[in-house]
A = this chain, B = another copy of it.
Amino acid sequence: MPKDIRIIEVKRSIFEDNDKDAACLRAKLKEKGVFLLNLMSSPGSGKTSTLLALAKALSGRIRMGVMEADIDASVDAEAMAAAGVPSIQIHTGGMCHLDADMTRQGLYEFGLENAELIILENVGNLVCPAEFDTGAVKNMTILSVPEGDDKPLKYPLMYEKCDLLVINKIDVLPYFDFDLQRAAAYARARNPHIEILPISAKTGEGIEALADWIVAQAKSWREG
């Protein structure tokens, strides 16, 4: 099937270019002591509300900025700005993910001297963002209770690429058939090293533990 082969070749060259760009960006972040955390999930799993809860929990502990990636909307960046969190909006122009070059453009526009921690809220999508190294130091994904505990079976690459799995909306566990142990087992089958933190961005449960994890990772990156 020549059509398929052509697509795959183009994809491979894009991935190779991107890996080089990502490595360069990470070296620059290391030099500047900035910890970049790439946050990925399905649409509607609670990325923005988790970031708003984190901004409060991290206030006074680390200088935080947010980079919002959306196809063409700006509602998330507006929510961040309204909460007083320094943020920048990237429009992907229809694209389903960010690559390292787009991330670099956004970070330089934001200014690397303006934060010790920058969280990149990637496009809501469990497939494409996992394929592209953004240059982030660590990757995290959110799985929300209403989505179901079988997602690691169906979107394996996302779980393989992530250092941390946050399970959000645990306040609605009684209303859904979601088993925390089963979700954890499915995720660890994909990635035995993945760390797992259950939270509710709405009630605040687990947010302190998530803030602690981020501060420890940022410290280890700066000092390591």
- Interface of A toward B, CB cutoff 8 Å: 3, 7, 10, 14, 17, 42-45, 70-73, 75-76, 94, 96, 101, 123-128, 131, 144-148, 150-151, 153-157, 169, 172, 175-176
**A125: B residues at CB distance < 8 A:** 96, 125-128
Q: How far is the CB of A172 from chain B (nearest CB, A)?
A: 5
A156 to B44, CA, bound (A): 15
**A42: B residues at CB distance < 8 A:** 42-44, 124, 147
Q: Which 6 residue pairs across A and B have the least CB separation, nearest first? A: A44-B147, A146-B146, A96-B127, A42-B43, A73-B154, A42-B42
Q: Are A154 and B96 in contact (CB under 8 A)?
A: no
A128 to B70, CA, bound (A): 14
Q: Count identical subunits in the complex.
A: 2
Q: Are A126 and B124 in contact (CB under 8 A)?
A: yes
Which single member of B17, B131, B144 contacts A146 (CB below 8 Å)?
B144
**A17: B residues at CB distance < 8 A:** 3
Q: Are B75 and A44 in contact (CB under 8 A)?
A: no
Q: Are A128 and B75 in contact (CB under 8 A)?
A: no
Q: Are A126 and B75 in contact (CB under 8 A)?
A: no
A70 to B71, CA, bound (A): 24
Q: How far is the CB of A27 from chain B (nearest CB, A)?
A: 20
Q: Are B124 and A154 in contact (CB under 8 A)?
A: yes
Q: Are A148 and B44 in contact (CB under 8 A)?
A: yes
**A75: B residues at CB distance < 8 A:** 150, 153-154
Q: Are B157 and A169 in contact (CB under 8 A)?
A: no
A131 to B12, CA, bound (A): 21
**A154: B residues at CB distance < 8 A:** 43, 70-71, 73, 75-76, 124
